[in-house]
Structure 1
Amino acid sequence: MRYKNKKFKHAIYKNKFILGSYLAGLWEGDGCVLMKQQQHFKPTISITFHKNQGVFAEKLLQTFSSQCKEKVGSVHYHKTRQACYLNIYSKEGLLNFINLVNGKLRTPKASQMDVVINWLIKQGVNIKKLPLCSAPINEDAWLTGFIDADGSFGIRQTFKKEKIKQQTECEFILVQRMYYPKTGKSYFEIFSKIADYFCVKLNTLKARNPKALDQYRIKISSAKSKKILRAYLDIFPLLSSKYLDFKGWSEVDNLMIKKHHYTDDGAIKITKIKKAMNNCRTEFNWDHLDL
Structure 2
Amino acid sequence: MTLHNSTITNICEYLGKHKSPENDVQLGYYLAGLIEGDGCFSYKKLEIAFHEKDNSAAYSLRIQLGFGQIYTYSQNKKAVRFTISNKKGLKRVLDLINGKLVSTEKVNQLIAKGYESRLGCKILNASLNISLTNHWLAGFLDADGSIGIFVANSKTHKHKKSVRLEIKFTQKDKHILSLIASVFEVKSISKDKKSIHRLKLTGSNKIRTMINYLDSYHLQTIKYTQYTIFRRCARYVESKQHLEPNGLEKIFRFKRSLQNVYN
> Are the equivalent residues in 2 in contact too, given 1:166–1:261 (CA < 8 A)?
no
Q: 1:7: how far off?
A: 7.9
User: Is 1:281 matched with 2:256?
Assistant: no
The one-letter code sitting in structure 2 at the alignment partner of 1:200 is V
User: 2:23 — aligned with what?
Assistant: 15
Which of 223, 226, 238 is residue 204 of structure 2 equivalent to? 223
Q: What residue identity is the alignment partner of 1:206?
A: D
Aligned counterparts of 2:250 and 2:17: Cα–Cα separation in 1 = 30
Does 2:77 correspond to 1:30?
no
- Equivalent positions of 1:70-81 (< 5 A) are 72-81=67-76
Contact 2:129 2:179 in 1 (8 A): no
2:236 counterpart (255, 261, 272): 255
Structure 1 distance, partners of 2:225, 2:51, is 15
1:132-147 matches, cutoff 5 A: 132-147=126-141
2:178 matches 1:170: no
Q: Please tell me the residue identity of whatever aligns with 1:176.
A: Q
Q: Which residue of 1 aligns with 2:111?
A: 114
Q: What's 1:128 paired with? A: 122
- 2:226–2:258 contact (8 Å) kept in structure 1: yes
Q: In structure 2, do the counterparts of structure 1 residues 95 and 7 end up closer, same or farther at CA, with 3 Å as the change threshold?
A: farther
Q: What does residue 157 of structure 1 align with?
A: 151
Aligned twin of 1:181: none
- For 1:25-50, what per-residue CA distance to the aligned partner results, in whole angstroms no more than 9, with x for missing partners? 10111111234xxxxxxx11010011
- Identity, % of aligned positions: 28
Matched pairs, number: 246
Q: TM-score, normalised by structure 2?
A: 0.84
Instruction: Say if 2:204 is the partner of 1:203.
Output: no
**C-alpha deviation, 1:172, in angstroms:** 1.4
3-state DSSP class of the match of 1:138? Answer: coil
Aligned-pair distance for 1:131?
0.6
Unaligned ranges ≥5, structure 1: 1-5, 36-42, 66-71, 179-186, 284-291
Check the 8 A contact 2:38/2:144 in 1, yes or no.
yes
CA distance in 2, matches of 1:159, 1:206: 24
Q: CA deviation at 1:193?
A: 2.7
Give the unaligned 5+ runs of structure 2: 1-14
Among 251, 256, 271, the residue aligned to 2:252: 271
- Deviations 1:106-129, CA, capped at 9 Å, x for gaps: 12321222256x34634xx43111
2:224 aligned with 1:240? no
Q: Is the 8 A contact 1:177 1:215 kept in 2?
A: yes
Taking only aligned residues, the RMSD between alpha carbons, in angstroms, comes to 2.6
